[in-house]
Amino acid sequence: MNKLATRLRWLARVLSIPLVIIVVAMMSAPDPHQVRPIILPEVIQLSLLAGSVTLGTLVGWWSERLGGIISAASLVLFCLT
């Protein structure tokens, strides 16, 4: 494996840490500028998206391909619903 690939892998791993922190913060903090209340199906949909992207990011630490598949699949499913 060449040096550039190794550096890019570690860069992605390091950048995944703030991503997970931001996702958890967004899911746990209410929006102060909310115009209308979020209905239950939207809460479920957003929770599944955040959870599956976070899971894909964490799995990506050990298996880049599997983590990428999980994250990409969750984004596609979110857009289709």
Residue 27: which pLDDT band, with cuts at 50, 70 and 90?
confident
Task: Find where tokens 């964490």 sit.
Answer: 58
Report the pLDDT averaged over residues 73-81.
Answer: 88
- pLDDT for res 1: 64
Q: Is the dihedral of CA 33, 35, 41, 45 positive or negative?
A: negative
pLDDT tens by residue, 28-55: 877 778 778 778 888 888 888 888 988 9
pLDDT at 25 over 90: no
pTM of the model: 0.72
51, 71 in Cβ contact below 8 A? Answer: no
